[in-house]
Amino acid sequence: MAAVSGSVRLQRCVVSPAGRHSASLIFLHGSGDSGQGLKNWIKQVLNQDLAFQHIKIIYPTAPARFKISNDCPEHLESIDVMCQVLTDLINDEVKSGIKKNRILIGGFSMGGCMAMHVAYRNHQDVAGVFALSSFLNKASAVYQALQKRDGALPELFQCHGTADELVLHSWGQETNSALRALGVSTKFHSFPGLFHELSTGELEKLRAWVLAKLPGEMERPKE
């Protein structure tokens, strides 16, 4: 596994903070997309880049992934290689001076699933996790890992369109309930009529949650 991950350097597309870099956000794309593709899609939805004064946004490009279904077994081998590569990315941020509790990880669709694997199985000390139009399948390794956990867990922020025909809204809800039952503090926002896509309202809610989790210098209480 180490040999494989050692040779995999993810291509990444970055939106730098406008001011001093004090936190990082890793945003993972869905199947068949790329980091650049996700960044462009978000820019199209918002009419501007998702950007912050103090938070660097990293959009890595992951290799192709597997079919989406609620009850088919997870392809753990490829998930674990990806977890290792994302661990390297998190470690790069830490080496550059960003604390683990100032890093958020999340994504769209399969990217959100990947983020839940990385955070809840390997990095329970990140600031939070977000999953947009995502789910974990019923026997997910994430659930198994959480049964053995001790200590606090990162909060999960989930959004899902009620009209999603690829990843059903009910799959997202089931994932949320299962994680809550295992001790994860969760937020779940339903978007009526939204398909398997991003919306302005969803990204605005995400932006507000990101700023609540990773406040800038100005918003922090004064010593």
Looking at residue 221, the DSSP 8-state letter turns out to be P
**Distance of alpha carbon 91 from alpha carbon 96, whole angstroms:** 9
Cβ atoms of 114 and 79 closer than 8 Å: yes
| Of 22, 109, 133, 134, catalytic | 109
Active site residue 24: no
The closest of 203, 215, 201, 220 to 53, measured between CA atoms, is 215
Q: Is 109 one of the catalytic residues?
A: yes
- Among residues 33, 80, 164, 169, which one is catalytic? 164
* Helix H or strand E segment including 31: none
The yes-or-no answer on residue 33 being catalytic is no
Cα–Cα distance for residue pair 84/53, rounded to 1 Å: 29
What is the per-residue burial (b if ≥16 Cβ within 10 Å, else e) of 13-44? bebebeeebbbbbbbbbbbebebeebbebbee
Backbone CA torsion sign across 66, 82, 40, 53:
positive
Catalytic residue among 54, 117, 169, 196: 196
The catalytic residues are: 109, 164, 196
